[in-house]
Structure 1
């Protein structure tokens, strides 16, 4: 009902009258329990990142994602402008960015806390090096890489300052850091992202809202300089079989024109340069 209500709220003034009546009718049906959504009534559990991604790893690469679809072109355009070097894929998961970095000639080190995710990443890119570790406690020396990429993972940190500081610590002066995150609009409006866990259960790994102002504070504390900030918009793609596809008109209207991902392009100033 939340998605239906969001679609109604956003289009109440300028929306088509028939569309608005459909939203009200849908809300009434769901409120009166006249119609069930997919997975309606399923048990929902919160998992910590280690347990959550262990469960998610088996199907993660097979799940279409509008977040990834709008994020990757922006990230790849940034990577295409960089010379090959030693690159870190922080919180690498199944190695999506590891593959992109290796394809561009980088020697890649992937770090993730999930052994299951690392196993998948190693299958995809056997030539990369992988290490077990946490985003806020990276197992790398100071100034040891030329580039760090962290995709859609900062959202799981209650405080992003330690994660940003760690990326700044391991990247050499003059190097670059690319961070992508779920846009705070999405988390504030939608809540948590659910996935199938076990036979008849749903689960989520908690996403935290990180406002742009908080990122700028973290970058400032770490002595980083912002080169660019990109906010790719929702592309109309809905997860197949999920509740949003069941109410596709409302879901697309709810998210239409809103950014769903934020991409930060920052650099570590060279010696003597001010951030």
Structure 2
């Protein structure tokens, strides 16, 4: 049995970018996206939105379709930013759209730059949760929302990989599970209020006929989705 190489995010997404569409393209992503979109306001007119770890731009597109006036995407991989630029080309002149290379926890944005921050299925690529959350908080205005999703820690415990194929070979992206206790402790320390937590399950209708997958996946949550609010100061501060 061959062993799947596990790559650091920069190397993985450089390989994956050529085949990475700007929409949820597997059952886990569809479950995650349904949950996260349910936490985004239906109308975003006048709002500045950041997609941290934007990939090929799927959440940027959702924000634009909901009327966001200014959307910024940040990603580690230049190849992913090229994909996003192609997907977003039709929006030029209709809304302010920016793409920047960067990564957590060093986002290339000033303090309190956006009203809404989205970080979809990215934070598991960061080994330390608190510094990443601190950076997402920094760029979000006081009172603003931060929507974050990750693969559920249960999947990691069951041995699931964030895998993909490139040039006919299977690879996986390095991923660190962050438990709810880690999220709670970091949010309390940083002045982030946990407003909603969603643990979506797979929809059997999303599973392709004949697909090979762990049947346990239908019985456990596959993603962990948070809506956080940036408070003016950490809880307990005077």
TM-score by length of 1: 0.76
Q: Name the CA distance, whole Å, in 2 between partners of 1:194 and 1:155.
A: 14
Indicate if the aligned counterparts of 2:24 and 2:30 stay in contact, CA closer than 8 A: no
Secondary structure (helix, strand or coil) at the match of 1:147 reads strand
* Corresponding residue number in structure 2 for 1:133: 102
* Corresponding residue number in structure 1 for 2:166: 197
Q: Name the CA distance, whole Å, in 2 between partners of 1:57 and 1:100.
A: 20
* Corresponding residue number in structure 2 for 1:156: 125
Residues paired across the two proteins, number: 227
Q: Name the CA distance, whole Å, in 2 between partners of 1:264 and 1:122.
A: 27
Secondary structure (helix, strand or coil) at the match of 2:188 reads helix
* Corresponding residue number in structure 2 for 1:99: 61
Q: Name the CA distance, whole Å, in 1 between partners of 2:115 and 2:24.
A: 31
* Corresponding residue number in structure 1 for 2:152: 183
- CA change 1:272–1:156 in 2 (3 A) is closer
- CA change 1:240–1:218 in 2 (3 A) is farther
How does 1:192-271 map onto structure 2 within 5 Å?
192-199=161-168, 201-236=169-204, 237-238=206-207, 245-246=211-212, 251-252=214-215, 254-270=216-232
More strand by share: 2
Secondary structure (helix, strand or coil) at the match of 2:4 reads strand
Indicate if the aligned counterparts of 1:136 and 1:163 stay in contact, CA closer than 8 A: yes
Indicate if the aligned counterparts of 1:135 and 1:166 stay in contact, CA closer than 8 A: yes
Indicate if the aligned counterparts of 1:65 and 1:239 stay in contact, CA closer than 8 A: no
Q: Name the CA distance, whole Å, in 2 between partners of 1:78 and 1:53.
A: 27
Displacement of 1:239: 6.2
Deviations 1:215-264 (A, max 9, x none): 111211211111110001122344677xxx24x6xx33x12221001110
* Corresponding residue number in structure 1 for 2:4: 44
Q: Does residue 56 of structure 1 match 2:50?
A: no
Q: Name the CA distance, whole Å, in 2 between partners of 1:231 and 1:274.
A: 28
Q: Which runs of 5+ in 2 are unaligned?
A: none
- CA change 1:157–1:142 in 2 (3 A) is same
Q: Name the CA distance, whole Å, in 2 between partners of 1:51 and 1:174.
A: 36
More helix by share: 1
Q: Which runs of 5+ in 1 are unaligned?
A: 1-40
* Larger-gyration structure (1/2): 1
Displacement of 1:43: 5.2
Q: Name the CA distance, whole Å, in 1 between partners of 2:151 and 2:108.
A: 25
Deviations 1:50-75 (A, max 9, x none): 11001111112288311221122222
Deviations 1:195-220 (A, max 9, x none): 11333x32111111110110111211
TM-score by length of 2: 0.87
Indicate if the aligned counterparts of 2:125 and 2:175 stay in contact, CA closer than 8 A: yes
Secondary structure (helix, strand or coil) at the match of 2:39 reads helix
